[in-house]
Structure 1
């Protein structure tokens, strides 16, 4: 009977965890979900059972969390059939990530009903979360710590990053799981004590890690709301460019005017006869332009952000999305994979994280998916005094993904102690303060201009100095310690 219960319960627990992410924002859901799955794993005696339970949990987690992949492929790629197949494959692969974390913790815990949920499973979870942030180009979507962006645990982020916030969640869940596995007054007190301790540490770290410098800047974000089909239609290029030119002129006088990712529907070099005069007009009005545009150089194409001028400045996207901005193995697969990738052909990766200078300040730039990588955004610091993220989330459709993406951008602002300007094509454009709070957000799938003041800041948070290394070291050393003390499962010990 227990085996029959484990798999459905694991599936429900995985889906419950996804409710912690935006737009749902149920911060206690991940704690409950992990407490359930941790407590069930401590009762499982076979590797086969642990693998099945962990994988089904992963399917619930991934299915509820990244179902929106279907919209990206079906609506803008190869159609509904391709969307179903691609989504099924990617969810099945994503489900391996939590499975590996759970089975690793189960194995190292050795069946001990206190050590397994309280130490082994939490350490394995954050270790896998760190590894997946860089292995095979990295997979950072749905990292657990994002669910706590609006709770006291978020104050851990400027010190330990999103992985440190994840640790607080899994430690609390592990303590509750230990109590669920063996109910009793002592274990209840332990669970309550750990929960209060994590919140107390978060509250103790609630402070400003950076300081304001200079006067605030007036900034306008141009959200063009250009649909993907229209964006790459050659007959629409003139109209699209005209819309952005008019929106820009409407905001002359603002310190910064920002266009979203690949707002130009042609390569930047093909549009300089319009952009260069516009930039001169803007400068005469006291404004600086920052434009998302594809850039061609030699035989390479780049997804870039440009500050027009003499000479223009370029930031070229360093972390490209596989199958979105380039197709691995295209030479081998040939035309089989032509339904994915950018309409302009494969992009090349940029190399420099150097900030762009605009309106007298240094902008730490990230493009779209790059904002999900904390260490890479930190590469622009401490030189940058503002963060800029440009994105085109039209690919996600009317799903949860734009809100999840915004949630991750908020964490980057919090980790670095910098305000962020987030300009998107279809939403969610936003101004985010240095504590990760959204000061102003635009609508989804509407043309809009967002205007606000932003405050440049200086200083370095502990996370910018240390990145994820303290959490990685804690996980590796902790797991090694459990392994060496004999916690791991041997034949004959339930394995």
Structure 2
């Protein structure tokens, strides 16, 4: 290991940049659908050794001498993000005549931009770089900062934050109920990078012992949480049917196919219950399942009423329109409707966090002049966003916390709001991305919200993955990517969270500050004995 560390440290120029990109690219194997969580134990030590080996011009000031750390961090981030986000380009190919030109921007441009956060992590880490555990703590703290900024600035895009690589299965997800994904970003990098000490020896025994203790705690806490009695079904029960129609995205966009798309959802909703199961109380359709403006089509509402039996409710994704005033174009919202057995809309919630360039155009006036439009919104100006999440209330007083599509990847925006609800409701349409890693990654991130809140999740996806996820992140029943059909399942009850989401945020902040303090302490002169 010392020989390998020495060779990596001596790499320079384009070879150093290429090795950093390769390390980031290989780290993707720890994400769904691969879930090889051991890979970062190899790639992060390489990142540490690469930063060990960089040094700026000694004639420059401290800030300029740290710039090579930025380059290494950026290259690592570019490899990681390009390798884990390439599938975004498939959405552009659905309407290739209009959007194929933007393929390089989605596949390479977006990762190049987002990698700036990792470059910042490498730069700041290099500023306080020392040896031994100090530099490991510096990298963990700065990666935690980078991921926090990535999820916050410019509306945020925290997709595939590093912490998710350490949580591929339920036993490894439970730590998120204590420190959230923000804390896992710091803790995972701290543990992943610790084998780098084998190559440089200083602080090795303490560092590896601490990493082993954290891994044992991570797995042990998960085993403990999963050993507790499974959440019981609600009393009185609430049986949910989740419909996964598997409608091709090109067909959804074809105006001539609207009637057949609508009827496909109705047919699955009206299908008889399998075996001796209970009749569904609640039927859930995915995001934008209704292929037209529902309020302009009373016949469609009447058709829904024909299918729904007495007492049944239907929740569907749909586009909602609203008058913006005299002389102004109407506003459009990506919404959820609650419809009763008489075909009446009795509840609605609008999407809060929209996808930039997907559902709306940032700097709309500028881009509109260039003839650009949002990929997933054909109406002028794209969608409008709601100011706040609206909790849906069902008959009997039970409530659902709606998360439309990628809203489920923003844990900080949920706060403690879901804690009093019966379930999280995540409806999505990942058919834009075909059978790529994207839907698998989306599902993993969504189910972590159930773990963090202690609230089960009802997840309806057009093409998969649809599932009922319990309050500990376990799939009770589901439909895989690319399957067509439905599942009927009794909704389990929520559990008391280990810590509320707000408390998880404070715990994550403490961990980040502690790692930063260790890094600064080491930089200021403290040294652990060699070996």
Q: TM-score normalised to the size of structure 2? A: 0.84
Alignment of 1:17-416 (within 5 A): 17-46=27-56, 47-76=66-95, 78-109=98-129, 111-117=130-136, 119-147=137-165, 148-150=167-169, 152-180=171-199, 182-183=200-201, 187-204=204-221, 206-207=224-225, 212=232, 213-250=234-271, 253-276=279-302, 278-279=304-305, 282-284=308-310, 286-298=311-323, 299-309=330-340, 310=344, 312-333=346-367, 334-338=369-373, 340-345=375-380, 346-358=382-394, 360=396, 361-416=398-453
> In the TM superposition, what whole-angstrom CA distance separates every residue of 1:35-59 from its partner, at most 9, and x where no partner exists?
2212321232223432222222112
Distance in 1 (CA, whole Å) between partners of 2:191 and 2:401 is 35
- Out of 39-48 and 77-86, give the one that drifted further: 77-86
> In the TM superposition, what whole-angstrom CA distance separates every residue of 1:76-111 from its partner, at most 9, and x where no partner exists?
3534432124322112112222222222212122x3
The answer (yes or no) to whether the contact 2:350–2:390 under 8 Å persists in 1 is no
Give 3-state SS (helix, strand or coil) of 1:45's partner. coil
Instruction: Give the direction of change, closer, same or farther, for the CA distance of 1:425–1:302 in structure 2 (3 Å limit).
Output: same
How far 1:413 moved relative to its partner? Answer: 1.2
> In the TM superposition, what whole-angstrom CA distance separates every residue of 1:324-379 from its partner, at most 9, and x where no partner exists?
11011121222432263412341111123232123642111100010101122345
The answer (yes or no) to whether the contact 1:149–1:436 under 8 Å persists in 2 is no
Distance in 1 (CA, whole Å) between partners of 2:49 and 2:170 is 24
Instruction: Give the direction of change, closer, same or farther, for the CA distance of 1:140–1:189 in structure 2 (3 Å limit).
Output: same
Give 3-state SS (helix, strand or coil) of 1:440's partner. strand
The answer (yes or no) to whether the contact 1:66–1:91 under 8 Å persists in 2 is yes
Give 3-state SS (helix, strand or coil) of 1:421's partner. strand
Distance in 1 (CA, whole Å) between partners of 2:171 and 2:184 is 10
Instruction: Give the direction of change, closer, same or farther, for the CA distance of 1:26–1:409 in structure 2 (3 Å limit).
Output: same
Distance in 1 (CA, whole Å) between partners of 2:112 and 2:149 is 19
Equivalent in the alignment of 1:492: none
Alignment coverage as a number of residue pairs: 483
Distance in 2 (CA, whole Å) between partners of 1:215 and 1:15 is 49
Distance in 1 (CA, whole Å) between partners of 2:459 and 2:95 is 23
Distance in 1 (CA, whole Å) between partners of 2:141 and 2:42 is 18
> In the TM superposition, what whole-angstrom CA distance separates every residue of 1:104-144 from its partner, at most 9, and x where no partner exists?
212122x3343112x11111111221222222111110112
Distance in 2 (CA, whole Å) between partners of 1:54 and 1:488 is 23
Distance in 2 (CA, whole Å) between partners of 1:36 and 1:265 is 49
Give 3-state SS (helix, strand or coil) of 1:226's partner. coil
How far 1:227 moved relative to its partner? Answer: 1.9
How far 1:387 moved relative to its partner? Answer: 1.2
The answer (yes or no) to whether the contact 1:210–1:461 under 8 Å persists in 2 is no
Distance in 2 (CA, whole Å) between partners of 1:102 and 1:283 is 59
The answer (yes or no) to whether the contact 1:364–1:386 under 8 Å persists in 2 is yes
| Structure 1 residues without counterparts, runs of 5 or longer | 490-495
How far 1:155 moved relative to its partner? Answer: 1.9
Equivalent in the alignment of 2:4: none
Instruction: Give the direction of change, closer, same or farther, for the CA distance of 1:31–1:124 in structure 2 (3 Å limit).
Output: same
Equivalent in the alignment of 2:327: none
- Is 1:424 the equivalent of 2:461? yes
The answer (yes or no) to whether the contact 2:132–2:204 under 8 Å persists in 1 is no
Instruction: Give the direction of change, closer, same or farther, for the CA distance of 1:413–1:267 in structure 2 (3 Å limit).
Output: same
Distance in 1 (CA, whole Å) between partners of 2:47 and 2:334 is 41
Distance in 1 (CA, whole Å) between partners of 2:297 and 2:272 is 20
The answer (yes or no) to whether the contact 2:337–2:345 under 8 Å persists in 1 is no
Runs of 4+ aligned structure 1 residues displaced above 4 Å come to 208-213, 480-483
- Out of 439-448 and 83-92, give the one that drifted further: 439-448
The answer (yes or no) to whether the contact 1:126–1:167 under 8 Å persists in 2 is yes
How far 1:476 moved relative to its partner? Answer: 4.6
Equivalent in the alignment of 1:493: none
How far 1:383 moved relative to its partner? Answer: 2.1
Distance in 1 (CA, whole Å) between partners of 2:256 and 2:290 is 14
Equivalent in the alignment of 1:445: 482
How far 1:8 moved relative to its partner? Answer: 2.8
| Structure 2 residues without counterparts, runs of 5 or longer | 1-9, 57-65, 274-278, 324-329, 526-531
Instruction: Give the direction of change, closer, same or farther, for the CA distance of 1:354–1:339 in structure 2 (3 Å limit).
Output: closer
Distance in 1 (CA, whole Å) between partners of 2:283 and 2:298 is 17
Distance in 1 (CA, whole Å) between partners of 2:350 and 2:229 is 29
Distance in 2 (CA, whole Å) between partners of 1:191 and 1:415 is 28
The answer (yes or no) to whether the contact 2:71–2:122 under 8 Å persists in 1 is no
